[in-house]
Each structure stands twice: as C-alpha cells, then as structure tokens.
C-alpha cells in the first residue's frame, strides 16, 4: 500500500536486489491485491493468488517483465506450489464440491483432481445447504 489506510490502495509486488540493491515495483499497473505468492524453482516466475471478480484466482507474474497472466479463474484457489512441470493447489469447498487437491500444467491447462491414497481417505459427511438470508426471514 502506498498510503496505509487509503481504501483505493492495493498491495503490490516489489522486488529488491539482495542485500543492498534497488527496489522495483513489479505490478504497478495490475489492479489486484496479492493474497499469496511463491517463486518458481528457477526464480523467473511468481505464482500468485488474488481476489478477482468474486473468486480467488491463480496468476503467474513474469519476474523480468512484470507481465501478469491469469491461469485459473473460477473458485477459491489456495496454497499453490510448483511440482515439477505442474502446479498443485487446493480448491476450497464451493457449490457442493469437496476437493482434496488439484493440479494443472504451468499454463493452467489440464486441470485435474488429485486424490490421496485410499487408506488416507476419510469418510466424508455431506454439508447442509445454507441459505444466507434464512435468519432474516422471520
């Protein structure tokens, strides 16, 4: 945030040459606030989650150019990490779907559900449908 407490400010990604180098704003023109981020093993790409049109989407940020690319839009993406040539992440419980985890290729394509070994699967109990406004309708 450029000015703490100002509502229109957003969190930006800044890079600094270590230990005494210059600080560079990487995402000055990007209109999102970063939720989480992690570097790729080669340090050339950042994997970033950010609130995006009612979702928590997954983005990549090129460290050299600052180019931001959305790779997964829908749902609430949590805990992304690089795993070889794929990205693993958790998708939060939304619309009745209970996910153990997911992965996709580095470009966001080929998303698939990842299941733990059968011995690690716990018995799942269904969630009740919840009506947010039910407590106000009396």
Distance CA 95, CA 75 (A): 9
Number of domains in the chain: 1
Question: For residues 28, 48, 92 and 74, what is the CA-based torsion angle, rounded to 10 degrees?
Answer: 60
- Model confidence over 3-27: pLDDT tens digits? 666 656 667 888 888 888 888 889 8
Is 12 among the domain residues? no
Is 107 among the domain residues? yes
Residue from 81, 90, 87 nearest 103 by CA: 87
pLDDT: is 101 or 72 the higher one?
Answer: 72
Is 100 among the domain residues? yes
CATH number reported for the structural domain that contains residue 87 in this entry: 2.40.10
Q: Where in the sequence is the domain holding 57, given as residue range(s)? A: 34-118
Is 130 among the domain residues? no
Distance CA 28, CA 79 (A): 24
Distance CA 113, CA 100 (A): 7
Is 23 among the domain residues? no
Confirm whether pTM is higher than 0.85: no
Is 7 among the domain residues? no
Is 1 among the domain residues? no
């Amino acid at each position: 945030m450029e000015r703490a407490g100002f509502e229109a400010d957003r969190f930006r990604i800044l890079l600094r040459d270590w230990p005494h180098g210059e600080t560079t704003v990487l995402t000055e023109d990007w209109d999102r606030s970063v939720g989480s981020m992690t570097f790729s093993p080669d340090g050339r790409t950042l994997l970033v989650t950010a609130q995006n049109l009612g979702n928590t989407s997954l983005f990549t940020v090129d460290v050299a150019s600052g180019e931001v690319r959305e790779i997964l839009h829908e749902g609430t993406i949590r805990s992304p990490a690089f795993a070889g040539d794929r990205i693993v992440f958790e998708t939060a419980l939304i619309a009745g779907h209970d996910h153990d985890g997911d992965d996709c290729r580095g470009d966001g394509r080929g998303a698939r559900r990842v299941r733990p070994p059968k011995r690690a699967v716990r018995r799942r109990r269904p969630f009740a449908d919840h009506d947010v406004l039910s407590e106000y309708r009396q």
